[in-house]
Amino acid sequence: MQRKNKTVLYIDSEPSFLEQQKQDLKFKELDEHLYSFNNINEAFEFMEDHIIERNHKLHYIILNEKVVGQQLSNYLEKIWGLNEFLKRPDVIVITDNNNTMVRNKIMQYPFVSVYLVKPVPNNYIEFLITGQIA
């Protein structure tokens, strides 16, 4: 049975972690549908120009809290505003911060499906996206 391609936007400021996750996610289902950025504003420009403008579906946004820091809520609000145009992607937030109050605040956004604290186990994000490990 052939799986549908899923489009994933990955935003992380740590090049080594981003590269490791890209390698973990580099399999047939995502080969040409994984877009990575280390700058949140470039990621939003990409969403507007290549996802919304072309009426494509974005399945997942993986966002490292460190990229936006204290402004995470502001960027989640911006995603919420674009949610209909992006065709309701699931957002996975990754953080170094194991703060229950922050987690509870972030998880109140209905489109945030997972809040992960680093270190994230190998292949875990792949499992969240595909339901299996290649």
Q: What is the pLDDT of residues 17-74, one digit of tens each?
A: 777 777 766 665 565 688 889 899 999 999 999 999 999 989 999 999 888 877 888 9
pLDDT digits (tens, 9 = 90+) for 84-119: 888 999 999 999 888 899 899 999 999 999 999 988
With CA atoms as reference, report the closest residue to 21 among 89, 113, 116, 87: 116
Fold of 8-125: Rossmann fold (3.40.50)
Long-range contacts of 70-78 (CB under 8 A, 24+ apart): 72/106, 73/105, 73/106, 75/40, 76/106, 76/109, 76/112, 78/44
Q: Is the pTM of this model over 0.85?
A: yes
DSSP conformational letter for 97: -
Can you give the residue ranges of every domain in the chain?
Answer: 8-125
CB atoms within 10 A of CB 132: 10
Confidence band (pLDDT; 50, 70, 90) for 2?
very low
Does the pLDDT of residue 8 top 80, yes or no? Answer: yes
Give the model's confidence band at 132: pLDDT under 50 very low, under 70 low, under 90 confident, else very high.
Answer: confident
